[in-house]
Homo-oligomer: A and B are copies of this chain.
Amino acid sequence: MKTEVAVSAMHHIEEVAEQMKLLGDKNRLMMLALLKEREWCVCEFVEIFDISQPGISQHMRKLKSHRIVKEERRGQWVYYSLNIEDKPHIQAVLRHLPGREELLRNFDKIVCCNQSESAISAP
Protein backbone atom coordinates (compact mmCIF):
# COMPACT_ATOMS: atom_id res chain seq x y z
CA MET A 1 0.00 0.00 0.00
CA LYS A 2 2.64 2.50 0.97
CA THR A 3 6.15 1.72 -0.20
CA GLU A 4 9.58 3.35 -0.30
CA VAL A 5 8.97 6.99 -1.02
CA ALA A 6 5.73 7.26 0.87
CA VAL A 7 7.38 5.50 3.79
CA SER A 8 10.17 8.04 3.96
CA ALA A 9 7.64 10.86 3.73
CA MET A 10 5.78 9.18 6.57
CA HIS A 11 8.93 8.99 8.62
CA HIS A 12 9.41 12.69 8.13
CA ILE A 13 5.86 13.34 9.27
CA GLU A 14 6.41 11.14 12.30
CA GLU A 15 9.59 12.94 13.25
CA VAL A 16 7.95 16.35 12.97
CA ALA A 17 4.98 15.05 14.97
CA GLU A 18 7.34 13.99 17.76
CA GLN A 19 8.90 17.42 17.75
CA MET A 20 5.53 19.15 17.81
CA LYS A 21 4.54 16.97 20.75
CA LEU A 22 7.54 18.37 22.60
CA LEU A 23 6.37 21.92 21.83
CA GLY A 24 2.90 20.92 22.97
CA ASP A 25 3.52 21.43 26.66
CA LYS A 26 3.17 24.94 28.04
CA ASN A 27 6.15 24.66 30.35
CA ARG A 28 8.48 23.32 27.67
CA LEU A 29 7.21 25.84 25.17
CA MET A 30 7.92 28.68 27.57
CA MET A 31 11.38 27.29 28.22
CA LEU A 32 12.02 27.34 24.50
CA ALA A 33 10.63 30.86 24.22
CA LEU A 34 13.09 31.99 26.90
CA LEU A 35 15.92 30.12 25.19
CA LYS A 36 15.38 32.20 22.06
CA GLU A 37 17.30 35.03 23.70
CA ARG A 38 20.06 33.37 25.68
CA GLU A 39 21.12 30.20 27.42
CA TRP A 40 19.59 29.43 30.81
CA CYS A 41 20.72 27.21 33.60
CA VAL A 42 18.52 24.68 35.34
CA CYS A 43 18.51 26.61 38.60
CA GLU A 44 17.06 29.66 36.84
CA PHE A 45 14.23 27.61 35.40
CA VAL A 46 13.62 26.14 38.84
CA GLU A 47 12.99 29.66 40.13
CA ILE A 48 10.83 30.74 37.21
CA PHE A 49 8.59 27.72 36.80
CA ASP A 50 6.13 26.23 39.23
CA ILE A 51 7.49 22.75 38.91
CA SER A 52 10.11 20.86 40.85
CA GLN A 53 13.78 20.66 39.94
CA PRO A 54 13.44 17.07 38.74
CA GLY A 55 10.52 18.23 36.63
CA ILE A 56 12.70 20.83 34.92
CA SER A 57 15.45 18.29 34.48
CA GLN A 58 13.12 15.81 32.81
CA HIS A 59 11.79 18.41 30.40
CA MET A 60 15.30 19.37 29.39
CA ARG A 61 16.25 15.74 28.93
CA LYS A 62 13.36 15.26 26.53
CA LEU A 63 14.28 18.35 24.56
CA LYS A 64 17.92 17.29 24.49
CA SER A 65 17.12 13.74 23.39
CA HIS A 66 15.38 15.19 20.35
CA ARG A 67 18.26 17.62 19.71
CA ILE A 68 16.09 20.66 20.23
CA VAL A 69 18.41 21.96 22.92
CA LYS A 70 22.03 21.30 23.76
CA GLU A 71 23.60 21.34 27.17
CA GLU A 72 26.90 22.61 28.46
CA ARG A 73 28.18 21.94 31.92
CA ARG A 74 30.17 24.73 33.55
CA GLY A 75 31.27 23.82 37.04
CA GLN A 76 28.29 22.87 39.10
CA TRP A 77 25.86 24.39 36.66
CA VAL A 78 24.35 23.05 33.47
CA TYR A 79 23.37 25.53 30.81
CA TYR A 80 20.91 24.81 28.03
CA SER A 81 20.65 26.55 24.68
CA LEU A 82 18.67 26.07 21.48
CA ASN A 83 19.88 23.63 18.85
CA ILE A 84 17.47 24.26 15.99
CA GLU A 85 19.58 25.73 13.18
CA ASP A 86 18.53 22.79 11.04
CA LYS A 87 14.87 22.88 12.10
CA PRO A 88 13.17 25.78 10.33
CA HIS A 89 9.67 24.66 11.31
CA ILE A 90 10.58 24.91 14.98
CA GLN A 91 12.30 28.23 14.40
CA ALA A 92 9.10 29.50 12.82
CA VAL A 93 6.98 28.50 15.79
CA LEU A 94 9.34 30.12 18.28
CA ARG A 95 9.51 33.28 16.20
CA HIS A 96 5.83 33.82 16.93
CA LEU A 97 6.20 33.49 20.70
CA PRO A 98 6.75 36.31 23.18
CA GLY A 99 10.31 36.66 24.43
CA ARG A 100 11.96 36.96 27.81
CA GLU A 101 11.14 40.63 28.34
CA GLU A 102 7.42 40.11 27.87
CA LEU A 103 7.23 36.78 29.63
CA LEU A 104 9.16 37.82 32.72
CA ARG A 105 8.11 41.45 32.92
CA ASN A 106 6.82 41.02 36.43
CA PHE A 107 9.30 38.48 37.58
CA ASP A 108 11.62 39.91 40.19
CA LYS A 109 15.03 38.37 40.05
CA ILE A 110 16.88 35.17 39.55
CA VAL A 111 18.91 34.59 42.70
CA CYS A 112 20.66 31.36 41.81
CA CYS A 113 23.87 30.51 39.96
CA ASN A 114 25.19 34.03 40.59
CA GLN A 115 26.03 34.95 37.02
CA SER A 116 26.05 38.69 36.38
CA GLU A 117 23.28 38.58 33.78
CA SER A 118 21.10 36.63 36.16
CA ALA A 119 19.13 39.61 37.43
CA ILE A 120 16.16 39.97 35.13
CA SER A 121 15.91 43.70 34.74
CA ALA A 122 12.76 45.38 33.57
CA PRO A 123 14.14 48.05 31.21
Contacts and interface: CB of A to CB of B under 8 A. Distances in A.
A10 B50 CA distance: 13
Interface string A23-38: 1111011100100000
Size category of the A interface is 35 or more
Nearest to A22: B24
A73 interface: no
B16 A97 contact: yes
A88 interface: yes
B97 A88 contact: no
A32 to B, nearest CB: 10
A106 B17 contact: no
A110 interface: no
